[in-house]
């Protein structure tokens, strides 16, 4: 999403779905996982909208949708590519929107080659490095040096970053006829994604596919809009980012972005998962999506700023945001003379994301580990490897409501229960700290629509229970104390100079969360007054701001996140409930809800418009645009920064202000979504000789084995994992509650009656499910909701597995994630857990551990030889040296 439109957040809010004419829910089981947001989908349905659920399983969402489209797990790009082709072939795109607001007219370099020409590769594949050189994907006439990793990309695998040029198409063809314009490239790229191909690769009928495509097209244009809704059903694939890109292309072609009832909604699973990305507990970014410095390139402040600030578009303001952040963190110590303490920041040398950290733990370089409100022993893939990592630590700190499986890994992990490991042999020191609940602390969550909402402390935490705010604050005080006598060493200066003087309150002397919000919002250094918003930030050290995109959340010294004006006292956008970033805008890119001249595309789909009398943008929502910039404004060639944004550029965060149908930069694995099979599939790639995403992240280790790429006789079934309404993720907040546990009391697997017959599985009985990573047992639920797929004259069976259970809590069961290996998307390092292969057998887990028969290696089938010979140091994984007893 960040690459396509400029920001990673959902572009709309669920309440606005009532204005949709068609809603496509794909990669999400919205009714089950987000029932209250689904309220708006039901209301839209009652108002006549068509609700389409595209999902391998028939779920509670499918049950109430107008149309259920049961595609094979992992075949989404074929399906969406088919829709793109259909839109183009039948000329049902929103032409005026496409020509003006997207980069469809941009002309790409002569050197660009498509996957159609190179058997599944784009031009620029570097065999030796095992990755793409993306320079040939650039606009013609723009300096062909590739730009750095995606600014908002969460992983930024490549620690390389080259100077950013103004990325604006130099040459365009508004007639969309030029053979090298994006529009024509798109046509050629998806030419083979025909309804017949969809039938073959997705396992659904041509007729059903065409119904979806037609419904989408008919409900788009000036008068009508459609929305896409996705969740982890899209992100958790080795091509996850490209799934979302494909939807972005569909929505751009149909002109649905930035308009009421349009857009793309990402539904997130945790209360503040959006917030924890905006103010990241992520390795590769600083608050507000500012990249962490990379050791290789960002050798000093000027270089870092030069590499990250964009000469065009909004990122021209980069310097202001970064320097204000350094002022917030290091206060008076940050001065112009010392480069605002730039050299206090640690640097990156590659991918340091979760899975690599686990591997580093196993390999011994990680000594201490903090786990706060997460349960990786259950919730992360390859549970056995996770726990192996925990066993190799010196110390582990777990903060949660109760002793989780992660905290108790030394006592009742499956390996311990099976007797393979004894607690007496595990050296890890474990600290368990009881965590305060949201009712016991002040603070804000940022929800799925980028909305900050404040929760107020209702009661004092009991006993030793404390908030993370209190824990971290007091830990920081202790560390400052411990280092007090070692400030002669420069490495300790960041600790010395860290601003850490938050006022405390209450009987427990807890730091004030509002004071932290004040710092996040930003203030003028001279008088500490909160700034109005990010437009007030300066690059001269006179302002401090902890997260520029949250600037304004504490404007006028008022906690905007705590605003609670009842919905019945405001319009449907409800701008006075909480506060949304950026600048309290609720529908992103809403400039696109008006035509190039600034008039609403239609009365029915009115949102913001140019008021010629007032000479400013007005509307129901706060305009996501420079409010006084008229539609007629065109930048001069000398313009820099936000002056380059023309009056018809709704996507202000993009360097060229356009929605990117074709991504000339920012993605690791290709400028256009291309179908690749999952790491473990049931069939060869029907479109290209290249089987899998050549850029995917793999961990080739003995403790992370993979199956054959397809047709592995040992693992003939397709497996997908998911969650249920009645539980929450890894179960830490649901398995201990009787009211939820009784509703789904045991781990189960879902199979079709046909598979039950084939494998002799009895409803209510037991089954054992096995992969190379592990084996688990589960109750059997035989249901027609799971259907065998018919493709290429063969029948493929799918198995469904919820992943909520483990060894603790009121209700127990084996953890599905123990079956899943480490494989990930190259752009964001999110694992592939929605499609892989497995074996299922009747009966409970055998006491005697199952030994797999070794097959002759067929690894070569997975990739063409050139992709196969990837150097082993790539992607941060390390060549695994088999040591005695290490496996």
Partner 1 sequence: MAAQKGFFTDTTLCIGCKACEVACKQWNQLPDDGFLFTGMSYDNTVHLGASTWRHVAFVERPVPMKPGNDGAFSWLFSSDVCKHCARAGCLESCPTGAIIRTEYGSVYVQPDVCNGCGYCIVNCPFGVIDRREEDGRAWKCTLCYDRLRADMQPACAKSCPTESIQFGEIAELRERAEKRVEKLHEQGLNSAYLYGANAAQQPGTEGLNAFFLLVDKPEMYNLPPNPTVPTKPAKAAWGSMAVGVLGLALAAIGSALLGGRERAS
Partner 2 sequence: MEWPVLKQLKNGDVLGLGSTAASERTEQLEARTTKADRVIASVCPYCAVGCGQLVYLKNGKIIDLEGDPRSPISHGCLCPKGAATFQLVTGSHRVSDVLYRRPYGTEWEKIPLERAMDMVAERMKKARDEHWEDKDEEGKPLRRTMSMAHLGGATLDNEENYLIKKLFTALGIVQIENQARI
Enumerate residues 82-111 that contact partner 2 by CB under 8 A. none
Min CB(208)–partner 1 separation in Å: 6
Per-residue x/- marks for partner 1, 47-86, CB under 8 A? Answer: -----------x-xxxxx--xx------------------
Candidates 282-290, 553-561, 581-589, 773-781 — which segment interacts with partner 1 by CB under 8 A? 773-781
42 binds, among partner 1, partner 2, none (CB under 5 to 8 A by kind): partner 1
Binding status of residue 781 toward partner 1 by CB under 8 A? yes
Among 134, 449, 665, 752, binds partner 2 (CB under 8 A): 449
318/653 Cα distance (integer angstroms)? 12
**C-alpha distances in Å from residue 664, one per residue of 134, 135, 148, 255, 676:** 8, 8, 11, 21, 20
Min CB(508)–partner 2 separation in Å: 10
Among 5, 93, 230, 283, binds partner 2 (CB under 8 A): 283
Candidates 81-89, 234-242, 278-286, 732-740 — which segment interacts with partner 1 by CB under 8 A? 732-740
Among 350, 476, 716, 745, binds partner 1 (CB under 8 A): 745
Among 402, 499, 725, 868, binds partner 1 (CB under 8 A): 725
Closest CA to 730 of 627, 817, 628, 819: 817
Asked whether 767 and 843 are in contact (CB, 8 A), the reply is yes
Which CB, 68 or 555, lies closer to partner 1? 68
Q: What is the DSSP code (8-state) at residue 860?
A: G
Q: What is the DSSP code (8-state) at residue 779?
A: E
Q: State which of positions 10-39 bind partner 1 (CB under 8 A).
A: 31-32, 35-36, 38-39
Among 410, 523, 617, 717, binds partner 2 (CB under 8 A): 410
Find out whether the peptide bond into 582 is cis, omega within 30 degrees of 0.
Answer: yes
Binding status of residue 210 toward partner 1 by CB under 8 A? no
Binding status of residue 724 toward partner 1 by CB under 8 A? yes
Asked whether 254 and 216 are in contact (CB, 8 A), the reply is yes
Candidates 121-129, 312-320, 531-539, 779-787 — which segment interacts with partner 1 by CB under 8 A? 779-787
Asked whether 618 and 608 are in contact (CB, 8 A), the reply is yes
Min CB(741)–partner 1 separation in Å: 6
Which CB, 793 or 885, lies closer to partner 2? 885
The H-or-E segment that residue 317 falls in is: none
Min CB(2)–partner 2 separation in Å: 13
User: Exposed e or buried b for every residue in 583-614, given b needs 16+ CB within 10 A?
Assistant: bbbbbbbbbbbbbbebebbeeebbbbbbeeee
Binding status of residue 726 toward partner 2 by CB under 8 A? yes
Min CB(490)–partner 2 separation in Å: 9
Total binding residues toward partner 1, as defined by CB under 8 A: 41
Min CB(533)–partner 2 separation in Å: 17
670/125 Cα distance (integer angstroms)? 10
Report the C-alpha dihedral over residues 735, 740, 742, 748, rounded to 10 degrees.
-60
Binding status of residue 579 toward partner 2 by CB under 8 A? no
Considering Cα of 728, then 840, then 235, then 21, what sign does the dihedral take?
Answer: negative
Which CB, 48 or 793, lies closer to partner 1? 48
Among 403, 639, 700, 852, binds partner 2 (CB under 8 A): 403
HSE toward the beta carbon, residue 830, CA cutoff 13 A: 18
| Secondary structure in 3-state letters for 204-271 | CCHHHHHHHHHHHHHCCCCCCCEEEEECHHHHCCCCHHHHHHHHHHHHHHCCCCCCCCCCEEECCCCC
Which CB, 607 or 782, lies closer to partner 1? 782
Which 3 state secondary structure label does DSSP give 78? Answer: helix
The H-or-E segment that residue 503 falls in is: none
Closest CA to 321 of 147, 658, 581: 581
Q: What is the DSSP code (8-state) at residue 29?
A: -
Among 713, 764, 793, 865, binds partner 1 (CB under 8 A): 764
186/671 Cα distance (integer angstroms)? 10
Among 338, 347, 504, 868, binds partner 2 (CB under 8 A): 347
Closest CA to 279 of 397, 444, 441: 444
Among 143, 171, 206, 370, binds partner 2 (CB under 8 A): 370
Find residue 455's DSSP bridge partners: 443
Binding status of residue 430 toward partner 2 by CB under 8 A? yes
Min CB(847)–partner 1 separation in Å: 22
**C-alpha distances in Å from residue 135, one per residue of 7, 83, 241:** 23, 28, 20
Min CB(744)–partner 1 separation in Å: 6
644 binds, among partner 1, partner 2, none (CB under 5 to 8 A by kind): none
Q: Which residues bind partner 1 (CB under 8 A)?
A: 31-32, 35-36, 38-39, 42, 46, 58, 60-64, 67-68, 208, 724-726, 738-746, 748, 763-764, 779-785, 810-811
């Amino acid at each position: 999403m960040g690459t396509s439109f400029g920001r990673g957040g959902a572009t709309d809010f669920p309440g606005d779905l009532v204005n949709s004419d068609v809603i496509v829910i794909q990669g999400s089981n919205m009714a089950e996982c987000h029932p209250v947001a689904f309220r708006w989908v039901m209301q839209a349905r009652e108002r006549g909208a068509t609700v389409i659920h595209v999902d391998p399983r028939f779920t509670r969402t499918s049950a109430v949708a107008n149309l259920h489209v049961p595609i094979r797990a992992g075949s989404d790009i074929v399906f969406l590519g088919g829709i793109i082709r259909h839109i183009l072939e039948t000329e049902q795109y929103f032409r005026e929107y496409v020509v003006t607001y997207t980069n469809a007219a941009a002309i790409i370099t002569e050197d660009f080659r498509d996957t159609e020409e190179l058997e599944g590769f784009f031009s620029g594949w570097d065999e030796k490095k095992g990755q793409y050189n993306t320079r040939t994907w650039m606009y013609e006439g723009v300096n062909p040096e590739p730009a750095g990793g995606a600014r908002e990309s969460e992983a930024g695998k490549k620690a390389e970053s080259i100077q950013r040029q103004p990325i604006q198409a130099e040459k365009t063809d508004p007639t969309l006829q030029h053979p090298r314009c994006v529009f024509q490239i798109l046509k050629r790229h998806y030419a083979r994604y025909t309804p017949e191909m969809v039938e073959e690769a997705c396992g659904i009928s041509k007729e059903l596919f065409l119904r979806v495509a037609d419904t989408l097209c008919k409900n788009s244009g000036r008068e009508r809009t459609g929305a896409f809704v996705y969740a982890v059903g899209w992100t958790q694939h080795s091509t996850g980012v490209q799934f979302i890109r494909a939807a972005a292309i569909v929505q751009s072609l149909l002109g649905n972005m930035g308009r009421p009832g349009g857009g793309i909604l990402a539904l997130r699973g945790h209360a503040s998962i959006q917030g924890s990305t905006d103010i990241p507990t992520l390795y590769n970014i600083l608050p507000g999506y500012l990249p962490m410095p990379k050791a290789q390139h960002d050798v000093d402040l000027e270089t870092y700023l030069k590499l990250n600030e964009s000469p065009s578009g909004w990122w021209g303001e980069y310097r202001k945001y970064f320097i204000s952040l350094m002022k917030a963190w290091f206060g008076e110590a940050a001065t112009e003379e010392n480069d605002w303490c730039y050299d206090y920041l640690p640097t990156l040398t590659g991918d340091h994301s979760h899975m690599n950290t686990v591997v580093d733990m196993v390999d011994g370089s990680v000594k201490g580990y903090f786990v706060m409100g997460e349960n990786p022993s259950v919730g992360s893939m390859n549970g056995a490897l996770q726990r192996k990592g925990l066993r190799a630590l010196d110390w582990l700190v777990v903060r949660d409501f109760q002793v989780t499986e992660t905290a108790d890994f030394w006592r009742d992990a499956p390996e311990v229960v099976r007797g393979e490991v004894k607690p007496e042999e595990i050296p890890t020191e474990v600290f368990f700290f009881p965590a305060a609940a949201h009712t016991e602390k002040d603070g804000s969550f940022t929800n799925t629509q980028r909305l900050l909402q404040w929760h107020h402390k209702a009661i004092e935490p009991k006993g030793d229970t404390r908030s993370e705010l209190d824990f971290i604050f007091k830990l920081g005080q202790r560390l400052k104390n411990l280092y007090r006598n070692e400030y002669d060493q420069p490495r300790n200066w960041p600790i010395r100079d860290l601003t850490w003087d938050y006022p405390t309150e209450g009987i427990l002397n807890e730091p004030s969360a509002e004071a932290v919000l004040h710092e996040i919002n930003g203030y003028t250094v001279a008088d500490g007054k909160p700034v109005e918003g990010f437009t007030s930030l300066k690059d001269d050290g006179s302002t401090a701001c902890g997260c520029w995109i949250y600037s304004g959340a504490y404007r006028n010294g008022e906690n905007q996140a705590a605003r609670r004006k009842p919905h019945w006292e405001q319009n449907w956008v409800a701008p006075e409930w909480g506060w949304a970033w950026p600048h309290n805008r609720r529908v992103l890119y809403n400039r696109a809800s008006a035509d190039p001249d600034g008039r609403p595309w239609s009365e029915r789909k009115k949102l913001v418009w140019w008021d010629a009398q007032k000479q400013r943008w007005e509307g129901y929502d706060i305009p996501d645009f420079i409010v006084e910039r008229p539609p007629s404004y065109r930048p001069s060639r000398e313009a820099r920064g936000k002056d380059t944004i023309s009056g018809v550029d709704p996507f202000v965060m993009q360097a060229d202000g356009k929605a990117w149908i074709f991504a000339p930069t920012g993605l690791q694995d290709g400028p256009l979504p291309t179908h690749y099979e999952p790491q473990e599939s049931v069939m060869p790639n029907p479109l290209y000789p290249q089987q899998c995403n050549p850029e995917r992240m793999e961990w080739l280790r003995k403790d992370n084995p993979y199956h054959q790429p397809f047709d592995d006789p040992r693992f003939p079934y397709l497996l997908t994992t998911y969650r249920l309404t009645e539980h929450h993720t890894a179960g830490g907040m649901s398995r201990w509650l009787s009211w939820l546990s009784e509703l789904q009391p045991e781990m189960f697997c879902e199979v079709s009656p046909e598979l039950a017959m084939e494998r002799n599985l009895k409803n209510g009985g037991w089954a054992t499910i096995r992969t190379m990573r592990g084996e688990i047992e589960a109750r059997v639920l035989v249901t027609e909701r799971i259907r065998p797929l018919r493709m290429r004259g063969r029948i493929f069976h799918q198995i469904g597995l919820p992943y909520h259970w483990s060894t603790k809590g009121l209700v127990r069961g084996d953890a599905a994630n123990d079956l899943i290996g480490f494989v990930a998307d190259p752009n964001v390092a999110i694992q592939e857990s929605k499609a892989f292969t497995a074996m299922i057998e009747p009966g409970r887990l055998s006491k005697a551990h199952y030994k797999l028969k070794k097959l002759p290696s067929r690894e070569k089938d997975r990739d063409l030889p050139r992709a196969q010979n990837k150097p082993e140091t790539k992607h941060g994984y390390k060549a695994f040296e088999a040591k005695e007893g290490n496996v």
